[in-house]
Amino acid sequence: MSIELANESGVDAPAELIIGAARFAVAAMDVNPAAELSLLLVDEDTMADMHVQWMDLPGPTDVMSFPMDELVPGGRPDAAEPGPAILGDIVICPEFAKRQAKEARRSYDHELAMLTIHGVLHLLGYDHAEPDEEKEMFGLQNSLLEDFYAERHRIAQAQRQSDRDTKLLTNIGFSDVAPVDAGPEATGPTQPPSEDE
DSSP per residue, 129-141: SSHHHHHHHHHHH
User: Which pLDDT score, from 0 to 100, does residue 98 have?
Assistant: 97
Question: Is 130 domain-assigned?
Answer: yes
Does the structure show a pLDDT above 50 at 178?
no
Q: Give me the mean pLDDT over the 73-95 stretch.
A: 71
What pTM was computed for the model? 0.78
Contacts of 54 (CB under 8 A, 6+ apart): 64, 66
pLDDT tens profile 136-177: 999 999 999 999 999 999 999 999 998 888 888 887 765 444
CATH number at residue 124: 3.40.390.30
Question: Is 127 domain-assigned?
Answer: yes
For the chain, give the mean pLDDT.
Answer: 85
> Hey, how many other C-beta atoms are within 10 angstroms of the C-beta on 117?
27
pLDDT tens profile 99-117: 999 999 999 999 999 999 9
Question: Is 180 domain-assigned?
Answer: no
Between 154 and 33, name the one with better pLDDT.
154
For the beta sheet containing 86-92, the strands, ordered from the edge strand earlier in sequence to the opposite edge, are 2-7, 36-41, 86-92, 63-67
Q: Give me the mean pLDDT over the 1-13 stretch.
A: 95
Q: Which residues are annotated as a binding site?
A: 118, 122, 128
Question: Is 186 domain-assigned?
Answer: no
* CA 112 to the chain's CA centroid: 10
* CA 39 to the chain's CA centroid: 12
The torsion of the CA quartet 116, 122, 126, 132, rounded to 10 degrees, works out to: 70
Structural domain count of the chain: 1
Question: Is 45 domain-assigned?
Answer: yes
Question: Is 182 domain-assigned?
Answer: no
Most distant pair of Cα atoms in the chain: their distance: 96
Question: Is 173 domain-assigned?
Answer: no
Report whether 145 contacts 114 (CB < 8 A). Answer: yes
**pLDDT tier for residue 80 given thresholds of 50, 70 and 90:** low
Domain of residue 121 covers 2-70+83-156
Q: Which residues are annotated as a binding site for Zn(2+)?
A: 118, 122, 128
Question: Is 141 domain-assigned?
Answer: yes
